[in-house]
Structures are given as C-alpha cells and as structure tokens.
Amino acid sequence: MKFTLLKLLLALACGMFTLTPAVTAQDESAPPATAEEAPEDPIADYNALLKDQGEYAGAYDFFTISMLWTCIAAAMVFIMHLGFATLESGLCQKKNVINVLFKNVFIISIGIVSYAFIGFTTHYPGDLNVDPDAWNGWLKFGGMIGDLNADGGNNWGYGGLALCMTGFGDFIFQAMFAATGATIVSGAVAERVKLSSFMIFATLFVAIAYPIAGSWHWGTGVLNQMEVPFKDFAGSTVVHAFGGFGALACVMVLGPRKGKYGKDGSIKPIPAHNFPLAAIGVFLLMFGWYGFNGGSVLSAEPGALGLVFTTTTLAACTGALGAIAAAWLWLKKPDLSMALNGILAGLVGITANADVVSVADALIIGLVSGVIVVFSIVALDRAKIDDPVGAISVHGICGIWGTIAVAIFGEGDFSMASQIKGVLLVGGFAFVFSYIVFSALKATLGVRASEEEESRGLDITEHGQEAYYGE
C-alpha cells in the first residue's frame, strides 16, 4: 500500500514538473502563430472529410474499416502463395524443391504485373467505364490500369455500399487471386516440366485466360446475364476449377513422371520428401482462405463476415474428417496426404457458397468434399493421370461440387442449370485453352525435361542449385 502511494505521488510530481515550463512560456505571452504556422485541427479536417462523403457521411468509418479489411484480406491471399510453395515442395522429391519454389516466385510476380497491364480491365470490362455497346459479355480486352482513385480515393465514389473499397483496394485484392490458377497447374506438372515452357504457359494463363473466364461471371458477362445468374461467391469454379481443368489438360499433354507407372499397369508410389513442410503449407493455405473467402464479402459487413468465416472453417474441418475416414476405410491406413488434401477439398467446396449456406449445410459440403477428393485422387492415379499434389482432384473436382452445392443448399434464387452451365463453360474453356497452348509449346520448344534431367533432378539441371547441401 505504501509503495503504491509512493508511486502515485512521484507520478503527480513528474506531471507538475513537465507542466511548469509550458505555463511559464504562456505567461511570457509568446507572439501568436501565423496562419502558415498554426497547427492543423484534426477535428475540423475530419468534419470536412465527412462533408465530402455526402449522403454516406454517417457511414464513413464503416467505409474506412472495410477498406482496411480488404487490404488485410489481400495480404492473407498473398500468404496462400507461400502455402502453395511449401505444400508443393514438401510433396515433391528433394531433388526438385528449388524448381518448385522458383516457379511459385515467378507465378505470383508475373500474375500481379500482368494483372496491372491487362488483366484487371479485361476482368471487369462492364464495370470500369467501358462503353456498354463494346462489351458483349464474352470478350473485351482492356489496357493498363490508371488512376483507380479518380472516382474518389477516400470516399464512396468507386463502388458505394455494394463495393465498399477504393479502386486500388479492389485491384490489389483481385490481383492476388489472379495467379492462383497457374499455381494449381504448377503442382500438377511438378518434377518433369521444362521450366521455360512452363513460364510461357503460366504467363498466358494468368494474363489472358483467367481474366476472360472471370469476366463472364464477375465482369457482368454471359454467366451473370443468364435469367438466373450463375453464383460463385469466391471462385470454386472461376478460380479453382479453372486451375484444376487447366492442370488436367497440361498433365495429359505432358505425361506421367518416369517410373510412376509400370508396363503391367502397376502404380509405383513416389514418396513426398518432407511431410512437415507439406502440412505447414496446408495450414498456411487455410489461414489465407479466410482472406480469400472473407475478403470476397467486399466489405466489413459484420453479419456476412461472421457467417463466411464460420462456414469456411467448418467445411475445412469436415473435409479433413471425411478424407481421413474415406482413406482409412479404403486404404486401410490413416493417410496424412489425404487428410491434408481433405482440408483443402473442404475449403474449395465451400468457396462458391460460403455466404448463402447454413452451418449444417457447410458441415455436409465439407464432408462430401473430403470423401470426393480421396476417390478422385485414386481414380486419376489408376487412369495414369500423374498429379503429384492432387491439384486436379482438390481444385477441379471439388470445385465442381462446391458450385453445384449452391443450387442444392443455397438460401436464395439459384438454378442448377445455371450452375452446371457455368462449370461447363469455365472448366471447358480452361481445358481447351491449356491443351492448345501446351500442345503448341510441346511441338515447338518442348514441354518435357529429358530423361537424364528428370533422373538427376530439375534443381541441378535447370538451376544449378540444391535445396539441401551436404546430404
């Protein structure tokens, strides 16, 4: 008690001491500051800013919080690329780790730069002051982004309550999505693809194919113009199935890894080199998915945000449980790779519908996703479709399921026919585009590393480096 009282007295004494010079200076009647030297009045500045908001003045704080959430969500989606990098490198052999990481560095870099040059304005031709008569709902190439704050960098001029962010906030959030499709392909073609050819493909895939497909839905295109519009909240089809079916086409052109399948039809497992790294990747992806789905609310509206976070989490967890149960019953062992892919399957499955389903629905959607992914991975392996990370099953097959689940579980006016049309159009376009481009590259530059390069590992033959020295 005495000690506390002593501290209080000392604090009061220090406060009085610091106040004394200010009082003395005031008593000396210092000359008044000029207009240029007068301190800014933050309250007056804030009131002036509110005045600029017009009818939205009362909600300016909500606008600010929403914009902040959008930027945080964009950063979380960026973390997903670290998740992809660690997951893919963990599931491949150690002789190809550098190659996998290099591709991931290139993909996110070219994805964001190309999105600024052509992708964003191609993705949203119906929303960015384009002549409506020039946008037929199918294709309208855009150009380099300009001043996206022109309609109001700190007010509601860009999108109002429906798109509660600035133009630059919208761009950076969507740019983080753009590279995801090529990252999905990267995992599926790992350990035998020729680096230079893959880089060309990835550039075309993220710069041209993804914005075109995205414009059909999010850019007020043909899928949005149907009598009952196609519903894909955050991209089970437009992002994930798009990447999954692009991956399927590339794998079919590329062929399996050497020694994966015997002449008698037997399947030879090629073990992952680092399961801890793969597990870290999956948990990073799940963390980033809160930005992926949560940011797609397009504001910090509390009711929608809380629902999306909850349904996303529940679907991921039941996805893991579904995959664990299915793999254990079928393969007779609790398989870690299946459990990890089950989490991702649940996340992909809920991405199209996270904002329109109930808690019980989210549990079912995730559970079914986890079971589907196990059967799909095994079926593709038996069909000699060599996918080292299960990307086609996780993103392609579960992306279809999540999109169809909108019509089954979604609370609203949704059409199964519209959902199926959307899946067929986007998935078919991704497959055909990828098959044509990859086949052209195969006929010209080649897409496959040589047998010697594949045997030695792409780290040494392509990069002259090793991920693990001294082993």
pLDDT at residue 376 above 60? yes
pLDDT at residue 21 above 50? no
| Per-residue pLDDT, 27 | 37
Report for 11-25, 130-144, 199-213, 252-266: range of highest mean pLDDT: 199-213
Confidence label for 57 from pLDDT (cuts 50, 70 and 90): low
| Per-residue pLDDT, 202 | 96
Q: Give the whole-angstrom CA distance, residue 204 versus residue 381.
A: 28
Name the residue among 181, 190, 196 with its Cα closest to residue 256: 190
Q: Which two tokens stand for residue 130?
A: 């384009």
Confidence label for 44 from pLDDT (cuts 50, 70 and 90): low
Q: Is residue 75 part of a domain?
A: yes
Q: Is residue 276 part of a domain?
A: yes
Q: What percent of the chain clears pLDDT 70, i.e. is strictly above it?
A: 83
Q: Is residue 181 part of a domain?
A: yes
Q: Is residue 356 part of a domain?
A: yes
Confidence label for 18 from pLDDT (cuts 50, 70 and 90): very low
| Per-residue pLDDT, 5 | 39
Q: Which two tokens stand for residue 286?
A: 């799940």
Q: Is residue 470 part of a domain?
A: no
pLDDT at residue 233 above 90? yes
| CATH label of the domain that carries residue 432 | 1.10.3430.10
Confidence label for 407 from pLDDT (cuts 50, 70 and 90): very high
| Per-residue pLDDT, 137 | 78
**233 near 311, Cβ under 8 Å?**
no
pLDDT at residue 410 above 80? yes
Q: Give the whole-angstrom CA distance, residue 229 versus residue 223.
A: 6
**286 near 152, Cβ under 8 Å?**
no
| Per-residue pLDDT, 156 | 65
| Per-residue pLDDT, 64 | 86
Distance of CA 41 to the CA centre of its chain: 41
Q: 38 CB contacts (<8 Å, ≥6 apart)?
A: none
Q: Within 92-206, where are the H helices?
A: 97-114, 120-123, 167-178, 180-188, 195-204
Torsions phi, psi for 119 (to 5 deg): -65, -45
| Per-residue pLDDT, 133 | 59
Q: Give the whole-angstrom CA distance, residue 361 versus residue 350.
A: 10
| Per-residue pLDDT, 449 | 94
Name the residue among 182, 363, 430 with its Cα closest to residue 190: 182
- What mean pLDDT, rounded, does the chain reach? 87
Confidence label for 38 from pLDDT (cuts 50, 70 and 90): very low
CA separation, residue 450 to residues 45, 99, 254, 339, 446 (Å): 66, 15, 12, 33, 10
Number of other CB atoms surrounding residue 241 within 10 Å: 33
Question: What is the tally of structural domains in the chain?
Answer: 1
CA separation, residue 29 to residues 23, 26, 40 (Å): 10, 5, 21
Q: Which two tokens stand for residue 220?
A: 């007020």
**410 near 231, Cβ under 8 Å?**
yes
* Sign, CA torsion 460/466/470/471: negative
Domain that residue 128 falls in: 60-287+302-462
Q: Is residue 417 part of a domain?
A: yes
| Per-residue pLDDT, 334 | 93
Confidence label for 433 from pLDDT (cuts 50, 70 and 90): very high
Q: Give the whole-angstrom CA distance, residue 305 versus residue 294.
A: 6
pLDDT one-digit tens code per residue, 451-468: 999 999 999 999 999 999
pTM of the complete model: 0.86
Name the residue among 373, 365, 417, 413 with its Cα closest to residue 393: 373
| Per-residue pLDDT, 203 | 96
Number of other CB atoms surrounding residue 51 within 10 Å: 9
Q: In the predicted model, what is the mean pLDDT of residues 411-432?
A: 96
Q: Give the whole-angstrom CA distance, residue 317 versus residue 208.
A: 35
Q: Give the whole-angstrom CA distance, residue 356 versus residue 304.
A: 9
Q: Is residue 102 part of a domain?
A: yes
Torsions phi, psi for 193 (to 5 deg): -85, 145
Q: Give the whole-angstrom CA distance, residue 240 versus residue 98.
A: 25
Q: In the predicted model, what is the mean pLDDT of residues 289-301?
A: 94
pLDDT one-digit tens code per residue, 189-225: 999 999 999 999 999 999 999 999 999 999 888 998 8
Nearest-10 crossing angle of helices 416-444, 210-217: 170
Q: Is residue 35 part of a domain?
A: no
From 60-69, 345-354, 373-382, 437-446, the region with the lowest mean pLDDT: 60-69
Confidence label for 263 from pLDDT (cuts 50, 70 and 90): confident
Cα atoms in the Cβ-side hemisphere of radius 13 Å centred on 394: 28
Confidence label for 470 from pLDDT (cuts 50, 70 and 90): low
